[in-house]
Structure 1
């Protein structure tokens, strides 16, 4: 998740900032469906579980495509590898460390082995195919393990993708999207191995190894990040087609509905990656043309700016609320489940806004400042802008 702001004279992408909150909200409702706030097997529990099958996966995929797009959009001509990496690490690690510590205090320290806790702390958990590792401590942070790889490779990947002639960008974007769509077939070549237990969720009977490869494994998710880079280049080079956000948004909705009926390995990203890539690019194009969208309002922009904190804190709030219900041995009624759900949403949002305002923003400003460096001859320097 990135700070969506223009650089080098480019406009701010306020619509993409607002869209970040929608994506984080989808992840929230996905996790709400498995929170146990509604009686298992009841109509509300079943309906919520059915409706949110695509929610978490489309939210995460949006963020991965967005990461590649925004980093490419905001890169500065004089940027160095160290400068880009420092700004990205400062963006994710303070909030990660804060929510990691909170999760350990609230619940995770009681059952998290030291080695697993260390992997999570260093954002290396997604490299393990063991769900007790990649979903450890603060479960949502597994995606930051992927983002960390993206940030390390971006200064090396961007110059390579910049060599692609503008007339061929759509072909390359199509090829990368096709690779994402084919990954479930690649995963099917793996032995099924252990499957997830039947609990009434969308993951019933899904192979853990295959799900990990398609959904969690950082090098595979790098494809969506690379697609975001290519889509940014398409918009920057003036090769964008006349697709408005309203139409690409409808494509995302259609893909979301389709994902409710496809096998889970295809729901993860295969059925949504193309609409999401088009949606991200269309919002950026609209902002560049000063054609405002409902996602660019001050309220949506404010919520979008706090979406990273919201993404990391909401699972802890849901887990704590769930523990309170279990501790009291209560099976909440439908009305109580709705009230608890709304309370967790409100508390998560309030905490996210506070974290963003008084913790994240000051640290990013302080540690993200450019550091003075020795002056070197022009021919000896190197930058991402070349």
Structure 2
């Protein structure tokens, strides 16, 4: 693709729709569903159980949760950089981001309070609830804080931090000379790879967590702490500029799909906390970049088909509601463990229920709120963000 393709960021070509990335979003959301499905004790088969420590198939599913969230963070930086327009103000950006993520967060937070406090009669801490409501809870290493209420919202705490900094980050990333973009991408990846040994030095004597197969504080610092996860977001922003400026991305979508699958199976066996983020960051980032290039070139992929795009559109709502559906649905169905065929049947029912709830949230909450977030004069036009797949964090 010639560099001049994206020389003018104001052109319509520069805002090409990216349906393949929208389809990818649902695969990432489903990978998080898979790990939470195993954390729900539906399987009697030991190789599929997560406690006291993951083994066999369960270990790979545990890896899938890391992959899904990392994908969302990289994609979030990519699509927000991709959708930036000259002269766009920080205030309007923050307004759109607030109405994108907070209504679904508030809805699922209230649902979690009702579910855990009312149905399960669990004690709820007011201070922890306030931290969760303010989306600052992933800054705290205590597991009872960052996993509080609807525990998947820890990733929204990270996303809120990313959004707060994005206007400043864009001032820096937007000024990188095109010929130096790959160099800066490499620098960011290098810092990401330095995080696991740095975490081991910062927290040398922490307690070991058998579930995460790493010292607990190292796990939190590497996989939950927003300033550390910001690196993936910035990597996504730089990759967006690489694609926008027509820089050559090595290999293609199919090749990076294969690399991603291979690294996925290898990653759980790496030392320290490398499996949680660093191992997958390059293949995931280049999977996103080559997916965008395929859409730009007009190469239709199965990811860009109508079913996958629809699933991608509701993926944020699916991500936000699925754990609550799993928890309550498992209890409603008797709270037991079953042999593998029956357990898979139970999970299929809970998956479809999660999709139904996600569709309702998307239709009745997310779309109306995103429409409301636009200036009144623009509400009769097509939404500005319809051109790109806006992610949650997605994880």
TM-score, scaled to structure 2: 0.87
Aligned to 2:63: 54
Aligned-partner SS, 2:127: helix
1:150 equivalenced with 2:196 (yes/no): no
Q: Is the 8 A contact 2:209 2:215 kept in 1?
A: no
Q: Is the 8 A contact 2:47 2:58 kept in 1?
A: no
Aligned to 2:389: none
Residue among 296, 303, 322 paired with 1:314: 322
Q: 1:257 to 1:355 in 2, by over 3 A?
A: same
Q: 1:175 to 1:311 in 2, by over 3 A?
A: same
1:25 equivalenced with 2:30 (yes/no): yes
**1:89 CA displacement:** 1.0
1:175 equivalenced with 2:181 (yes/no): no
Which is further off, 354-363 or 333-342? 333-342
Aligned-partner SS, 1:292: coil
Q: Partners in 1 of 2:124 and 2:208 — Cα distance?
A: 20
Q: Is the 8 A contact 1:60 1:143 kept in 2?
A: yes
Aligned to 1:378: none
Aligned to 1:89: 98
Q: Identify the structure with bigger relative contact order (alpha carbons < 8 Å, sequence gap 6+).
A: 2
Aligned-partner SS, 1:267: helix
Aligned to 1:104: 113
Q: Partners in 1 of 2:377 and 2:141 — Cα distance?
A: 38
Aligned to 1:379: none
Which is further off, 169-178 or 328-337? 328-337
Which is further off, 67-76 or 236-245? 236-245
Aligned to 2:288: 280
Aligned-partner SS, 1:23: helix
Please give the root-mean-square deviation of Cα atoms over the aligned residues, in Å: 1.9
Aligned-partner SS, 2:358: helix
Aligned to 1:377: none
Q: Is the 8 A contact 2:128 2:148 kept in 1?
A: yes
Residue among 333, 338, 342 paired with 1:336: 342
Q: Is the 8 A contact 1:8 1:76 kept in 2?
A: no
Aligned to 1:255: 263
Aligned to 2:218: 210
Show CA shifts across 1:353-379 (max 9, x none). 12112221011111233689xxxxxxx
Q: Partners in 2 of 1:269 and 1:357 — Cα distance?
A: 33
Q: Partners in 2 of 1:165 and 1:147 — Cα distance?
A: 27
Residue-pair matches, total: 360
**1:51 CA displacement:** 2.5
Q: Partners in 2 of 1:310 and 1:350 — Cα distance?
A: 9
Residue among 239, 251, 270 paired with 2:278: 270
Aligned pairs (5 A) from 1:123-202: 123-195=135-207, 198=210, 201=211
Q: 1:212 to 1:117 in 2, by over 3 A?
A: same
TM-score, scaled to structure 1: 0.89
Q: Partners in 2 of 1:335 and 1:7 — Cα distance?
A: 54
Q: 1:353 to 1:152 in 2, by over 3 A?
A: same
Off by >4 Å, runs of 4+ in structure 1: none
Residue among 72, 82, 87 paired with 2:81: 72
Q: Partners in 1 of 2:41 and 2:126 — Cα distance?
A: 28
Unaligned runs of 5+ residues in structure 1 are 1-5, 373-386
**1:264 CA displacement:** 6.1
Q: Partners in 1 of 2:335 and 2:234 — Cα distance?
A: 47
Aligned to 2:4: none
**1:47 CA displacement:** 4.4
Q: Is the 8 A contact 2:209 2:216 kept in 1?
A: no
Q: Partners in 2 of 1:171 and 1:108 — Cα distance?
A: 50
Aligned-partner SS, 2:62: coil
Q: Is the 8 A contact 1:7 1:75 kept in 2?
A: no
Show CA shifts across 1:96-147 (max 9, x none). 1111111111115632200000100111100100010001000100000000
